[in-house]
Amino acid sequence: MGWNTLDDMDLGGKRVLVRVDINVPVENGAVTDDTRIRRLAPTLNDIRAAGGKPILLAHFGRPKGQHVPEMSLLPLVPALEAAFDAPVTFCADCRGPAAEAALAALDSGAILLLENTRFHAGEEKNCSDLAAEIAALGDIYCNDAFSVAHRAHASTEGVARLLPSCAGRLMQAELEALEAALGKPQRPVVAVVGGAKVSTKLELLGNLVEKVDHLVIGGGMANTFLAAQGIDVGKSLCERDMLDTAAAILAKAETTGCAILLPSDIVVAREFKAGADNETLPANSCPADAMILDAGPETVARIAAVLDDAKTLIWNGPMGAFEIAPFDAATNAAAQKAAELTRAGQLISVAGGGDTVAALNQAGAAGDFTYISTAGGAFLEWMEGKALPGVAVLDTSRVLA
């Protein structure tokens, strides 16, 4: 597929509806992590530099079609003004006469922020009336919200059908990085997948065994795979009802030629707490009263060897209980190895999804990765091989309705 970027659009004097994801953590009315906001700055700068008028469309939280005052976007205005170095005017509705009036009164050089699109029930239903009302406010639609692209909502999908559309700079960077990692990757490709449960990453693992050369499985879900091989995992987190599924994934990997790397040594403890007494044992020797909280050094060395030979890495999820030291050791070591190879120009490394960014930041490795996605759920659905509605609708080869 192909998509237009801002470079393909004539922005001068145009009203540009920009779908952004500013669903950021807020505490006591102040933004506590403005990463998602700062990464939108290139898009806003480029639109303004080309003489376009940016109108921001965004959701916040899950108000389910109701007007929930605590989920207003108004408190985000100062963080947006700081990140974009421009005045931001707020309008309390994302459609209708109020939005039209705010747009008419907008100072040149200013950015208009429209209220939470999810205050209207039509947003999540991708209602065509709401999409038309929103589209009436703009001349061009620019989607810069990859992290909401897995939602087929009026502001992510419906509006794109009604206006000339393009990807913003952040969306463009996400798509290019993801395409480089799974679309047409340089091989060998390694996927590192961790996290607690197989059940939440079933489709993802099923897709990866078809696409990657090596699949490293860590975190709690590795225990389920060990158990599927008949290994006793003691009191470890383990999804007993997923053993057949895990075995099926292992069998599928054999047919596709994907080498699966599971822990061969484990770090076990009797308590789940920072600094708990622990020991390192072979993976098949977890005591009945202990739980596996991390992979051991031999496993880390095997991961490092796979990474040494790899050209491309996709990473989602921690390798162990990274939030409690010393059970962050395998995650940190593997992340630092990936960072080192990326710095040396040997590896293209892409990471995303939920805890992953926190884990890589904690390892001090995030800054060296080739690309860190801002997306959680959308990154996972992309790893599952699903078409993302907000991306698919931008496809310039799509037959227009």
Which does residue 151 touch among Mg ion, ligand 3PG, none (CB within 5 to 8 A, set by kind)? ligand 3PG
Residues 6 or more apart whose Cβ sits within 8 Å of residue 56: 18, 20, 22, 80, 88, 111, 112, 113, 114
**What is the greatest pairwise CA distance in the chain?**
70
Nearest approach, Cβ of 2 to ligand 3PG (angstroms)?
Answer: 25
Q: Which of residues 368-387 bind Mg ion (CB under 5 A)?
A: 376-377
CB of 249 to Mg ion, least distance (A): 25
Choose the catalytic residue: 14, 15, 19, 36.
36
Closer Cβ to Mg ion, 48 or 59, answer by number: 59
Kindly state the tokens that stand for 159: 């509006």
Using CB under 6 A as the binding rule, the residues of this chain from 361 to 380 that contact ligand 3PG are: 376-377
Active site residue 220: no
**Residue carrying the six token digits 């959680």:** 376
d(CA 317, CA 358): 10
Give me the catalytic one of 377, 385, 386, 398.
377
According to DSSP, the β-strands at 15-19 and 140-143 are: parallel
Q: Which of 191, 134, 199 is nearest to 162 (CA)?
A: 134
Say whether 257 is catalytic: no
| 124 interface partner picked from ligand 3PG, Mg ion, none, CB below 5 to 8 A per type | none
Closest approach of Mg ion to the CB of residue 204, in Å: 15
Asked about 195 being catalytic, the answer comes back as: no
Task: Compute the distance between CA of residue 266 and CA of residue 280 in angstroms, rounded to an integer.
Answer: 6
SS3 34: coil
Least distance to ligand 3PG from the beta carbon of 377, Å? 5
Amino acid at 292: I
* Bridge partners, residue 113, by sequence: 56, 90
Of 43, 147, 342, 356, the one binding ligand 3PG by CB under 6 A: 147
Beta-ladder partners of 3:
395
354 binds Mg ion, rule: CB under 5 A: no
Residue among 64 and 187 whose Cβ is closer to ligand 3PG: 64
96 binds, among Mg ion, ligand 3PG, none (CB under 5 to 8 A by kind): none
Q: How many residues bind ligand 3PG (CB under 6 A)?
A: 8
* Residues marked as catalytic: 36, 197, 354, 377
